[in-house]
Structure 1
Amino acid sequence: MDASKLRALTDWLIDGGRSAASPSRFMAECCERMVAAGLPLWRIGVFVRTLHPEIYGRNFIWKPGAEVQIGSVDYHILESPDFLTSPLKIAFEQGLEVRARTGDPQNGRFPIVDELRAEGVTDYIALPLPFIAGTINASSWTTRQPGGFTDDQLAALRSLVRPLARVIEIISLNRMAASLLDTYVGNSAGERIMGGQIRRGHTETMNAAIWLSDLRGFTALSDRLPAETIVDILNHYFDCQVTAIKKHGGEVLKYMGDGLLAVFPIDEYVGDERQVCSHVLEAAHESRASVADLQYPIGDAVERFRFGVALHVGRILYGNIGGGNRLDFTCIGPSVNLAARLEKIASRLGRTVVASEGFAGICGGGWSDLGEFPVAGFSKAARVYGLADEKSAA
Structure 2
Amino acid sequence: MTQTDDPLQHLPASRLDGALRLISYMLGGARDATDADEVLTRMSELIRAGGVPLDRATSIVPLLHAEAVASARFWERGKGARSYLFPFNEESGKGYAHSPAADVHKSGAWVILWLPDTPDERYGIVPELKADSYTHYIMAPVFMRSGMAGTFSFATRAPEGFSQDDIAFLRAVFPALSACQEILATARAMQEVMRIYVGHEPQKRILSGDVHRGEVMHIRSAILFADMRRFTELTAGMSAEQATGLLNAYYDCIVPPIEGAGGEVLKFIGDGVLAVFRAGEDGAEACLRALKASRGGLARVAARTEQPQFDIGTALHFGEVAFGNVGSGMRLDYTVIGRDVNLAARVAGLCGARNEPLLVSSEFRQKAGLEGRSLGEQSLKGLQSREEVFAVSLAEGP
Indicate which of 253, 256, 262 corresponds to 2:266.
253
Matched pairs, number = 382
Query: Does residue 96 of structure 1 match 2:106?
Result: no
What is the deviation of 1:214?
A: 1.5
Residues 105, 315 of structure 1: alpha-carbon distance in 2 compared, 3 angstrom cutoff: closer
What is the deviation of 1:320?
A: 2.1
Query: Does residue 264 of structure 1 match 2:277?
Result: yes
Identity of aligned residues (%): 31
Q: What is the alpha-carbon root mean square deviation over aligned residues?
A: 2.2
Deviations 1:200-239 (A, max 9, x none): 1221222111111211111222323233211111111111
Deviations 1:44-69 (A, max 9, x none): 01111112232110001112343321
Partner of 1:372: 377
What is the deviation of 1:8?
A: 2.8
Residues 108, 340 of structure 1: alpha-carbon distance in 2 compared, 3 angstrom cutoff: closer
CA contact (8 A) 2:378 2:387 kept: yes
Q: Distance in 2 between matches of 1:14 and 1:80?
A: 32
Q: Distance in 2 between matches of 1:224 and 1:81?
A: 35
CA contact (8 A) 1:372 1:382 kept: yes
Aligned-partner SS, 1:308:
strand
Indicate which of 334, 337, 350 corresponds to 1:345.
350
- Code of the aligned partner of 2:368: C
What is the deviation of 1:71?
A: 1.3
CA contact (8 A) 1:233 1:296 kept: no
Query: Does residue 28 of structure 1 match 2:38?
Result: no
- Code of the aligned partner of 1:286: G
The runs of 5 or more residues in structure 1 that have no matched partner are: 298-302
Residues 53, 234 of structure 1: alpha-carbon distance in 2 compared, 3 angstrom cutoff: same
Residues 314, 135 of structure 1: alpha-carbon distance in 2 compared, 3 angstrom cutoff: closer
CA contact (8 A) 2:228 2:312 kept: yes
Q: Distance in 1 between matches of 2:39 and 2:243?
A: 45
Query: Does residue 74 of structure 1 match 2:83?
Result: no
Aligned-partner SS, 1:52:
coil
Q: Distance in 2 between matches of 1:365 and 1:351?
A: 16
Q: Distance in 1 between matches of 2:48 and 2:240?
A: 57
What is the deviation of 1:330?
A: 2.5
Indicate which of 283, 298, 323 corresponds to 1:288.
298
Higher mean Cα deviation, 152-161 or 304-313?
152-161
Residues 205, 19 of structure 1: alpha-carbon distance in 2 compared, 3 angstrom cutoff: closer
CA contact (8 A) 1:143 1:149 kept: yes
The runs of 5 or more residues in structure 2 that have no matched partner are: 1-13
- Code of the aligned partner of 2:341: V
Indicate which of 258, 273, 288 corresponds to 1:278.
288
Higher mean Cα deviation, 308-317 or 12-21?
12-21
Aligned-partner SS, 1:213:
strand
Partner of 2:10: none
Aligned-partner SS, 2:213:
coil
Deviations 1:246-301 (A, max 9, x none): 1111111112211121111215xxx852111111111111111112233444xxxx
- Code of the aligned partner of 2:320: R
TM-score, structure 1 normalization: 0.90
Partner of 1:113: 126
Higher mean Cα deviation, 316-325 or 235-244?
316-325
What is the deviation of 1:389?
A: 5.2
- Code of the aligned partner of 2:206: I
Give the 5 Å matches for 1:128-207: 128-207=141-220
TM-score, structure 2 normalization: 0.89
Aligned-partner SS, 2:236:
helix
